[in-house]
Structure 1
């Protein structure tokens, strides 16, 4: 029995000395609980909205104040014409536009049906439905407050809602860009994360380093085959989305392919950096899955709206490459926008790829020493 307890004690000490095991045992459950508890919620708060008020009357102002004071909406722009609505949606910041037509206050005050129009960006299907329901309930609550004693309200507000960019509310419009970014990031990074680690394990990395090739040539030589294969993979995903799932391609195909190539290069660069840091293929795969999988799923805006997350997690999400690529794919395929509207996320991806490749190059030789 003493031998058994001594063996158990040895195993405890072995586990406590192994940081990777401790990370799996305690780090991952803690991260999951915190993410699901604070960040991963379908409830939307402080959604950015714009108001187009042709009425400028008492009830349109009061109803706008009611919407904004609910905590669900945050006013970002006051529009002046219908032509501003589409441009506002294409910029990707505003999720809901509330339109009060001329005569809204007059129709409502004189017992007529006053109409309010709600336009939502349905490229994010669940967000659009949720915001429409929030706004409709608030408007109905305002109407009930104005008619507290009437069995049938004498003053009525008719809500007309319209889903922009995805009127049929197809789920593929939301999931294909997210799945595309997830697959390309994970597959590309995993493939390259093991390539240099494999050379280290087999002892052939030293042979490469003393060859006539420069370190930069070695890294690009590792990347280019995977870049081509991953690009073919990305083209297949785009083709499936367009021809099989019916997702429109309203923007430039050339721009979409160029952005896809940039994102793949970034993902490969990230895998290379992991590979230079890891000594074995197993460690490289573990780091890639831990660092990429959970943040990409939970903090990229793929499944849960970023605006509803705590401020700290919103800041963390700014370093998630998939966040920018999802916006780019939705912008090109669904909204039909061009580089003039997408230059910011494109620049971020380019800078990330440059920094990651430079870090991989710098870290390659010291790790061998």
Structure 2
């Protein structure tokens, strides 16, 4: 019995000395509880909206103030025409546009039928439904307050929501771009990090480094097969989304393929970076899953709206590659926009790829010198 207790004591000391084990045991549960409990929520806050007010009357202004003071909406643009609405949606600058028709206030005061139109970007289905419901409740609540019990009845406000880009509210419009980003990022980074870590673990990486090939040639030679295979995987996901799930391809297929190839190269560069740090395949696999999977699910806008997150998490989301690729895929496939609207996201992916590749080459050289 004493031997057994001594053995258990030894195991306790071994665990307490291992920082990585302690991080898994205590750090991950704390992070998960904090994220789900305080940060990640499906409730929409500070959603960017635009206003098209043909009325400019008292009631349209009061309803606008009521919407903006609710905490759900933030006005970022006043558009002047329906053509401006389409351009704003395609740039991805707003989630909802509130349209007040001419003579709205006059129709409402004189007991006629008053209408408000809500145009929502339904490329993110759940967000569009939530925003239209929030706005409808606020507008109807305003109308009820203006017509208290016992007073002369006035006209009710008829709210007409319309979903843009996804009128049927298909869930595939939301999940296919996110799943595509998650699969390509996870598989590419995981496979690359593990295969190079395997070479280091077995000692064959040093043999390759003394061969006539240069370090960049060795690294790119290792990842090129995964680049091509992952690209075929991306093409398969696109084909399934279009032909099986009915997602439209309103933009350029060539641009979509180029952007997909760029994103895969970025994922591979992240895998190379992980492999230069990890000494074993197990560590490389764990690092890939931890670094790629959780941020892609939680902080890319795939499931949880980024604008509803606390400010620190919104800042962190700016370094999540999947955030930009999801915007690119939705922009090309659903909104039909081109490089003129997606150049910022594309430059971010190019910059990240260059930075990760340069750091990886430097780390590999320093570790094997």
TM-score, structure 1 normalization: 0.98
Superposed displacement of residue 150, structure 1: 4.6
Alignment partners' CA distance in 1, 2:289 and 2:152: 58
> What is the distance in 1 between the residues matched to 2:330 and 2:141?
34
Aligned 1:138-157 pairs, distance under 5 A: 138-150=138-150, 153-157=153-157
Question: Corresponding residue for 1:326?
Answer: 326
Cross-structure match for 2:344: 344
Q: Within 5 A, what are the aligned runs for 1:109-258?
A: 109-150=109-150, 153-258=153-258
1:49–1:73 CA contact under 8 A, matched in 2: yes
* Cα deviations by residue, 1:22-55 (Å, 9 ceiling, x for unpaired): 1110111111101101222110011000000000
Deviation string for 1:244-292 (max 9, x for gaps)? 0000000000000000000000000000110111111111001111111
Per-residue CA deviations over 1:266-323 (Å, capped at 9, x if unaligned) read 0000001101111111110011111111111000000010000000000011110000
Are residues 1:11 and 2:15 paired? no
What is the alpha-carbon distance in structure 1 between the residues aligned to residue 230 and residue 280 of structure 2?
Answer: 23
Contact 2:41 2:308 in 1 (8 A): yes
* RMSD (Å), alpha carbons: 1.0
CA separation of 1:251/1:46 partners in 2, compared to 1, >3 Å: closer, same or farther?
A: same
SS in 2 for 1:194: helix
Larger mean CA deviation between 12-21 and 320-329 belongs to 12-21
1-structure distance, mates of 2:152, 2:222: 72
Structure 1: gaps (5+ residues): none
- CA pair 270-102 structure 1, distance change in 2 beyond 3 A: same
Secondary structure, counterpart of 2:319 in structure 1:
coil
Could you tell me which residue of structure 2 aligns to residue 96 of structure 1?
96
How far apart in 1 are the matches of 2:293 and 2:80? Answer: 43
Superposition deviation, residue 9 in structure 1: 1.1
For the residues of structure 1 that align with 2:259 and 2:148, how far apart are their CA atoms? 55
Q: Which residue of 1 aligns with 2:44?
A: 44
CA contact (8 A) 1:277 1:367 kept: no
1:315 aligns with 2:294: no
Q: Is the 8 A contact 1:144 1:153 kept in 2?
A: no
Q: Does 1:62 align with 2:62?
A: yes
How many residue pairs match? The answer is 369
Q: State whether residues 97 and 118 of structure 1, in contact with CA within 8 Å, keep that contact through their aligned partners in structure 2.
A: yes
CA contact (8 A) 2:109 2:154 kept: no
Specify whether residues 195 and 153 from structure 1 end up closer, same or farther in structure 2 by C-alpha distance, changes over 3 A only. Answer: farther
Q: Please report how far the alpha carbon of residue 214 of structure 1 lies from its aligned counterpart in structure 2 after TM superposition.
A: 0.6
1:284 and 2:289 aligned: no
Higher mean alpha-carbon deviation, 235-244 vs 36-45, is at 36-45
TM-score under structure 2 length normalisation: 0.98
Unaligned segments of structure 2, at least 5 residues:
none
Q: Which runs of 4+ in 1 moved over 4 A?
A: 150-153
Match of 1:302 in 2: 302
